[in-house]
């Protein structure tokens, strides 16, 4: 936890915040926190600054809080991602939040198993938990927007155009395509397929919406690796 992230319900009064639960246990057992110690802190959806520990026991911790700095800027990215396997989903959610993606669209694909959509890891509270862990890691306070789209064709034909308006549009896909570009300085909509990649029909629909296929080379990467590699290369 590189950022002590407060939520609105933690605020007791101006300049005062109190925590318990997971964050308290992390302070006690990992940081070995003592009264008077200061931590980098932030308010979910708000500013960052410092929090000085005033009181702590096994039930709660009280802080003097000064938050006066803006969080880091988001990447101007809408990431369209075929829903990954549930265990991989948790890591990807953390990585997406850590890297500063502004919007994540989890979409169905021919190679996405139907059972994946039933995972409890897709429940709003579970998604939010993983995103917050990513924010804490990267010292960010702003959650990415997350959208679930269970029908690929209607999403691509009816809604993707609006989400990708004004963006550079790329679809990551193995094959004889141009290499993925580097160092973009414009808004991007990036589509990444499931394990095994998009099927050609899906690539064709994306191309009809103006998406340009690109590849990372001969090696086939796991989805969680590809997400990180593509974002790092593009920005």
Record the pTM. 0.94
The phi-psi region of residue 43 (left if phi > 0; otherwise alpha if psi is between -120 and 50; otherwise beta) is beta
Of 152, 140, 71, which Cα lies nearest the Cα of 114? 152
Residue ranges covered by each domain of the chain: 4-69, 75-234
pLDDT score at 19: 97
pLDDT reported for residue 176: 85
pLDDT at 186: 94
pLDDT along the chain (235 residues), means of 10: 96 96 96 96 98 97 97 97 96 97 98 96 97 98 98 97 96 90 94 93 97 91 93 94
Looking at domain 4-69, its CATH class is mainly beta
CATH number of 75-234: 3.40.1280.10
Predicted pLDDT of residue 234: 95
194: left (phi over 0), alpha (psi -120 to 50) or beta: beta
Tens digit of each residue's pLDDT (9 = 90 or more) over 58-83: 999 999 999 999 999 999 999 999 99
In sequence order, which residues have a C-beta less than 8 Å from that of residue 1 and are 6 or more positions away? 23, 26, 30, 136, 137
Contacts of 102 (CB under 8 A, 6+ apart): 74, 75, 76, 77, 78, 144, 145
């Amino acid at each position: 936890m590189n950022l002590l992230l407060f939520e609105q319900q933690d605020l007791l009064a101006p300049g005062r915040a109190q925590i318990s639960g997971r964050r308290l246990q992390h302070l006690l057992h990992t940081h070995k926190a003592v009264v008077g110690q200061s931590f980098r802190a932030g308010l979910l959806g708000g500013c960052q600054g410092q929090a000085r520990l005033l009181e702590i026991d096994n039930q709660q911790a009280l802080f003097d809080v000064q938050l006066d700095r803006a969080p880091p800027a988001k990447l101007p990215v809408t990431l369209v991602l075929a829903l990954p396997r549930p265990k991989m989903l948790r890591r990807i959610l953390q990585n997406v939040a850590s890297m500063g993606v502004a919007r994540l669209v989890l979409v169905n694909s021919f190679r996405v198993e139907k059972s994946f959509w039933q995972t409890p890891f897709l429940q709003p509270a579970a998604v939010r938990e993983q995103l917050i862990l990513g924010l804490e890691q990267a010292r960010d306070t702003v959650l990415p927007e997350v959208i679930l789209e269970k029908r690929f064709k209607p999403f691509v034909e009816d809604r993707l155009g609006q989400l990708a308006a004004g963006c550079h549009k790329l679809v990551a896909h193995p094959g004889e395509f141009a290499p993925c570009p580097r160092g973009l300085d414009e808004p991007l909509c990036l589509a990444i397929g499931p394990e095994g990649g998009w099927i050609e029909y899906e690539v064709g629909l994306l191309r009809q919406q103006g998406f340009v296929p690109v590849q990372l080379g001969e090696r086939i990467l796991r989805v969680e690796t590809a997400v990180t590699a593509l974002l790092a290369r593009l920005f």
